[in-house]
Structure formats: structure tokens, C-alpha cells
Amino acid sequence: MVFDTALVVSTLLLTTPILFAATGELVAELAGVINIGIEGMMLAGAFFAYWGYESTGSPLVGLACGLLAGAALGGVMALFAVQAGADQVVVGIGIVVLAMGITSLATSELFGQDASRSLLAVETPVGIPLLDRVPFIGRVLFDAKPLEYVAFALLALTAAVLYKTRAGLAVRAAGEMPEAVTANGLNVRAVRWAAVLFAGSAAGLGGAFLSIGEAGTFVENMTGGRGYLALAAVIFGGWRIRGVLFACLAFGFCDALQLRLQGLPAVPVEVWALAAVVCGGYAAWAWRRPSNGGRLAHSVAITSSAMLAVLFVVFVIAQPAIEIPNQLLLALPYLVTLIALAGLASRVLAPRFLGFPYFPARSST
């Protein structure tokens, strides 16, 4: 059986690094900064967490190193994109390239060819007494690795700060109406600095989870695009907490599912049934909710989704022995990301000043 408790546990595990990064990215984008460099921040966090753990033998030191590495690149992002007003996308791409170069060179210089074989002890699940014995729910929710709890708690804490405090209001206003922030005596740049530093720190923790919480080692470019998945999760989630959580879980589920399918000779009928439900559900949702874009693209999306749903229903009935190549399975989370963004991103509105630098002296001219 494909859809079992182990798949849910794996989904939450694979969701954790994306959720860390997406939580930080959400704050940065609500403040008006597109942090494309989040992939590089995750990568730096993964390397320096591994280096700190390997050097001291302390996982806490490793986590601190990963967090600080992500925050440091967040500072670089803020310096150029927020303070200097440079193009945020260009700066973000530069940070990714910088992180790839630094981690590649440092790996070669510090560990030589042995880095991929230097396995460290990884986190083990920590069960909550009594609750971890509850059937199904206990293993899924109350028997996880410590950083899994931290990731979901961080998202909940971020939601409380964003929507229940004046600081959260300032963050949201910095991306939606920066003049109002200035009118209330606050510094828009300072707010954005804080948001980007938080984003870098959260991404660093996500990278640290990959290297010392899950793999126990560091491999060059081991983030594998998870930072970009986090970026897509924020857009897919409509810049809202619940939407971001759902998007991260969806991407984690796709990753867990492709790992499970790699060990099977053919695609099980349950997968075709799930695909039919998803495509049919999207077609019905899109039909009831008009798009902000062109009518032609809207009609094509509904028609293609409905046709795919019918095709998958046929597969459920016929049960063909179809084997999907592993290369295509590995691309499943990213394929789902592209489809989600193409089908849903045009229906949500980004913060009005997202991607725009703010110059107080020029705002009155």
C-alpha cells in the first residue's frame, strides 16, 4: 500500500527544510523584498552547520553555525537590495552563485574528497510520552525529530507575530504601504532589514536540517532547489500562513511519493485515483472562480485539467502496468511546482510594493 503511515511521516520530514525557508521568505516578501537568494542561504546553512558539528562534535554548535551563515548572507542581501536599492532579483541570483562557490571551495579545502563519507550522528525522533503511542496520530504528530517540531512551531509563532503584534503590522505595511510606516515614525529600511535577516536565519536552519538533521553529511549543492520550492510555496500559498503551510506539505508529499514510487515496478492504482481527484478538484474550483488573467488561458486550464482527470479515471479502471522513469519521478516536486504556479499564481495578489526599493527622500517628490 502506497498511502500509509510511513508516507505521512516521510512527508513531514521532507516538508521541514522547505517550511523553514518558506516561513522566512514569507516574512521577507510581506516586507517587500523578493529573496531569490534563499537557495544560497539554505546551502550556506547546510555547509556551515555540517562544518560546525564536524569540528566540535556538538549539533547545537552546528545549528548555530548554520543559522549564522544564513543570516550573514541575509545581511548581504539587505545591504545591496534594501540599503543600496539594487535590483532584488539580480542580488538574489548573485547570492546563490556566491554560496555555491564558497561551499564548493570550502568543501574541497577543508574536507577534500572525504566530505561525502564523513557521516555524523543525525537527530533521532523524540516521542512525547503517552501521546506517541496513539495509533497513527502518535507516530505522525508526536514522534518526530526535534527540528520538525521547531519548524511548525516557528510558523505558528510567525503567524502570531505578523497578525497579532504592531511589529507584524509594520512588516506587512512595509510591503503594502511603506509611506504609512514612515508616517508612523518607523524606518521602512530597518523593517526590511529585520525581515531579510530573519529570512536568512530561517533558511540557514532549513539547510542545517538537511545536512546534520537528515543526511549526517554535506554534499555539494545538496539543497537541490529546495530554496526555490520555498519561494514557490509563498506564491502558491497566496502570501498567507495557511496557504504557505499547505504548499509546503504538498511539495513534501510529492517528494515522499516519488521516493516511494522508485521502489515499485508500476504506478499503483491509488496514485491514479489521487491524480484524478486533484485534477478534477482543480477543474471544478477554477470553473467556479474566474481568473484575473485572460479568458483563453483560463479555459485551457479548466479543459486540460478535466481531460487529465478523465484520463486518470480510465487508468484507475484499466489499471495499466506503467513504470515511470526514476529521472521523471525525481522531477515530480518541481513539475508540481510549475503546474501550481501556472494554474494558481495569477489568482492571488502580491504585496503592492514587493520588489520595489524604498527611498524616503524621493517619496515626496
Instruction: Reply yes or no on whether the pLDDT at 39 is more than 50.
Output: yes
What number is the average pLDDT over the span 253-265?
88
Determine the pLDDT at residue 364: 41
Strand partners, 127: 143
Q: What is the DSSP string of 310-337?
A: HHHHHHHHH-------HHHHHTHHHHHH
Give me the mean pLDDT over the 133-150 stretch. Answer: 82
pLDDT of residue 165: 95
pTM: 0.89
Which of 24-28, 51-55, 77-81, 107-111 shows the lowest mean pLDDT across its residues?
107-111
Q: What is the distance between the alpha carbons of residues 222 and 76, in angstroms, rounded to a whole number?
A: 22
Listed residue (362, 129, 154, 343) closest to 232, CA to CA: 343
Give Cα separations from 60 to 55, 170, 205 (angstroms): 12, 32, 11
Of 209, 344, 197, the C-alpha closest to 278 is 344
Confidence class for position 122, pLDDT limits 50, 70, 90? confident
**Residue 228 pLDDT:** 94
Among residues 215, 175, 213, the alpha carbon closest in space to that of 191 is found at: 175
Instruction: Give the span between the Cα atoms of 87 and 33, in whole angstroms.
Output: 10
**Is 90 exceeded by the pLDDT of residue 211?**
yes
Question: Rounded to an integer, what is the distance from CA 268 to the centroid of its chain?
Answer: 28
The pLDDT value recorded for residue 292 is 56
Q: How far apart are CA 147 and CA 93, in angstroms?
A: 28
β-sheet bridge partners, residue 158 = none
User: 129 or 51: which carries more pLDDT confidence?
Assistant: 51
Using the predicted structure, report yes or no on whether residue 304 has a pLDDT greater than 80: yes
3 state SS of 291: coil
Condensed to tens digits (0 to 9), the pLDDT of residues 311-334 reads: 999 999 998 888 888 878 888 888
Which pLDDT belongs to residue 141? Answer: 78
* β-bridge mates for residue 126, sequence order: 144
Encode pLDDT of 180-205 as tens digits: 999 989 999 999 999 999 999 999 99
So what's the pLDDT on residue 347? 61
Task: Express as a percent the part of the chain with pLDDT over 70.
Answer: 92
pLDDT band at 158 (very low <50, low <70, confident <90, very high): very high
Residue 183, burial from CB neighbour count under 10 angstroms (0-12, 13-18, 19+): exposed
pLDDT tens digits, residue range 263-297? Answer: 788 888 999 999 999 889 888 877 777 655 556 66
Q: Given a cut of 90, is residue 241 above it in pLDDT?
A: yes
Average pLDDT, the chain: 88
Q: How confident is the model at residue 361 (pLDDT cuts 50, 70, 90)?
A: low
Beta bridge partners of 143: 127
Residues ≥6 apart with Cβ < 8 Å to 224? none
Q: What is the mean pLDDT of residues 45-58?
A: 93
Distance between CA 220 and CA 100 in Å, rounded?
A: 8
Region 139-166: mean pLDDT is: 91
Dump pLDDT digits (tens) for 329-354.
Answer: 888 888 887 777 766 655 667 899 99
pLDDT for the residue 365: 38
**27-31, 36-40, 105-109, 208-212: which range is least confident on average?**
105-109
State the average pLDDT over residues 38-53.
Answer: 96
pLDDT of residue 166: 94
Contact between 174 and 356 under an 8 Å Cβ cutoff? The reply is no
Residue 348 carries which DSSP code? S
Reply yes or no on whether the pLDDT at 153 is more than 90: yes
Band (pLDDT 50/70/90 cuts) for residue 13 is very high
| Band of pLDDT at residue 19, cut at 50, 70 and 90 | very high
Which of 3.30.70, 3.30.1490, 3.40.50, 1.10.3470 is the CATH number of 5-264? 1.10.3470
Q: 93 in helix, strand or coil?
A: helix
